Structure 1
Amino acid sequence: MPLPSNPFRRTAVSAAAAGLLIALTGGCGAPDAAGPAAHRTAPGASRPADAPKAPAPARLTVPSLHIDSELLRLGLNEDGTVEVPPAEKGMTAGWYAGGAVPGEPGAAVLIGHNDTRFGKAVFHDLHAIAEGADIAVSDGGGKETHFTVTGTETVAKDAFPTDKVYGATGERVLRLITCDGDFDAAGHPVDNLIVYAALR
């Protein structure tokens, strides 16, 4: 069955730290003209204000899933939603630069597509990741930071746990997000898959 060309839908979830709209769809295809699914949170809320700047992450590897991807820098779109990797770069994950740098205090968020209209994408097999699996993120200088998977969660897009994923924390944690679940009648994936990991 061919993949839908516009698998995002618009939703909104209010959070205590509500600020701008941020896309948390993770990825399953290119956003349609109306924009990607969105949830409310405050960009950068998970990063302590006094945290020193660290080199941006450049590469993600998940050995157990044979994932080895460069990382795009993701910011905000004009409508306040976070950018997702373009469909034509479906095999490349992205780092949301409004959150923490992986390995620094706070929640670092990496977003990747599951599938796009071009086919299988970087996080296609993310559902198979096991608790205890190693995730490595390296910066441009080659310094690697390792995380251990502590759990996974599949949630409906209209019930996305924004505070849990993006909320402020002094811990050094990582989240990977993609789409998951069945398609609705309009061809939109109904769920998000979230992988939680902690600094090793």
Structure 2
Amino acid sequence: MLLLFVILIGIVSSHLNDPFVCPSGYSTYLPVKLPTSWINGSINCFDKGATRPDLDIFPINNDTYILRENKCINYEAPFMYLLFSNDTVLLIDSGATVSFISLPIQQHVETLITHWCINNKKERADLELVVAHTHNHDDHTAGDIQFKYKLFTTIVNTSIEEVSRYFHLDNWPNTIGTYDLNNQRRLAIIPIPGHENSAIA
């Protein structure tokens, strides 16, 4: 499932319980040119090198990345999204693979965080990684175990109660919530139960 999200530029002062609004004069939509193709796996996934690279990493800009799992590692080939602000990094979905040998998603994410910290003169301890999910299916949550018990990391449970609490969705599924990354980036959190009960976009 492709997550719908709005990428905002600039500092937007806001409150988590406000209705989601894109304030004029404070935000700009980024034009995005996506890759013409992603890793397509292989005719024979047992071929040498068919699972390498294990992950497509596509930078939209210095603060936003799209990740996609190699089809030869898992046929679902899920997309994941990594969004940075000055004190929070939001990973949306953790992929379809439990094994850190087949797909070390936590290491990939930490490498991107390290590079971001170097470029922005930050320490790793300055950033909290939040792992959230579009919905509670294994191909979007299997990688969570790699992030468990890691420093500076929070995993948002996939129950309706926990998703509602974390994203301030007070009247599930009739509330559109907002999630502010350090008042720099405002995301609309939209409950969309159907494909799965706790699904959000």
Give the TM-score, by structure 2 length.
0.27
Q: Which structure has more helix as a fraction of its residues? A: 2
Q: Which structure has more strand as a fraction of its residues? A: 1
Give the TM-score, by structure 1 length.
0.27
Greater Rg over alpha carbons, structure: 2
